[in-house]
A = this chain, B = another copy of it.
Amino acid sequence: MVREERGILFVVSAPSGAGKTTLVRNVISQVPGVSLSVSCTTRTPRPSEHEGVDYFFITPEEFNAMERAGKFIEWAKVHGDLYGTPRANLEKLRHGEDLVLEIDTQGAKRISEAFDDGVFIFILPPSLEVLKGRLKDRGGDSEGAIQARLHNAQKELDQKVWYDYIVVNEKIEEATRALASIILAERCKTTRLLGEKIGGTYGADNG
């Protein structure tokens, strides 16, 4: 009756400019027992990004070789760049560690088909106007890239309906608390707990 202890997979999506990356990093530094699934990408690193922390930055040739070798659980082309989730990252779940996977809605949909007990969280900017402002302020992107991101953002927003949770990122402190709360609350779900620690302590009354 005792289930193997297993971490929880949290899948976080957001339109570009919703502040997802900062939010996720805040939460990972505050909540013990959860780490980030670092993805591979062929896109150019932004000035603030670090190899192996934000992404594994690889060439299209390396990406294609990994893909052919079946080393990605899922991969997608977003704004012309390739993004892939290494299968090896999910190993942590088997050791009871929770994992946050930042991924676009296409990728999240494919993960949801493979993992029926993943937790899907959508980060929403307070409004499209705020989103537009944030995309312009970011710097380092051309006007064309901004427009493409905004168009894509509107399409991504339509996908929020099938996610389990929506966090509105109006104030970063509140949004951080909300995302951390989702992680802590999911750990208390009866369906996840029974058969693990609790079944052991209180005997066979959970049949």
Q: Which residues of A contact B (CB under 8 A)?
A: 121-122, 124, 126-128, 157-158, 160-168, 177-178, 180-190, 193-194, 197-198, 201-202, 205-206
Contact = CB atoms under 8 A, between A and B. Distances in A.
A186 to B, nearest CB: 7
A196 to B, nearest CB: 10
A198 B123 CA distance: 12
Given A126-B201, A182-B184, A182-B185, 19 more contacts: A124-B202, A127-B201, A161-B190, A161-B194, A161-B206, A164-B189, A164-B190, A165-B190, A166-B188, A166-B198, A167-B188, A168-B197, A168-B198, A178-B188, A181-B184, A181-B185, A184-B185, A185-B185, A185-B186
Q: How many copies does the complex hold?
A: 2
22 contacts: A124-B202, A127-B201, A127-B202, A157-B202, A158-B205, A160-B194, A160-B198, A161-B194, A163-B190, A164-B190, A166-B188, A166-B193, A168-B198, A178-B184, A178-B187, A178-B188, A180-B181, A181-B181, A181-B182, A181-B185, A182-B184, A184-B185
A194 B165 CA distance: 10
Nearest to A121: B188
A128 B205 CA distance: 13
Nearest to A207: B161
A179 to B, nearest CB: 8
A168 B121 CA distance: 25
Contacts of A164: 189-190
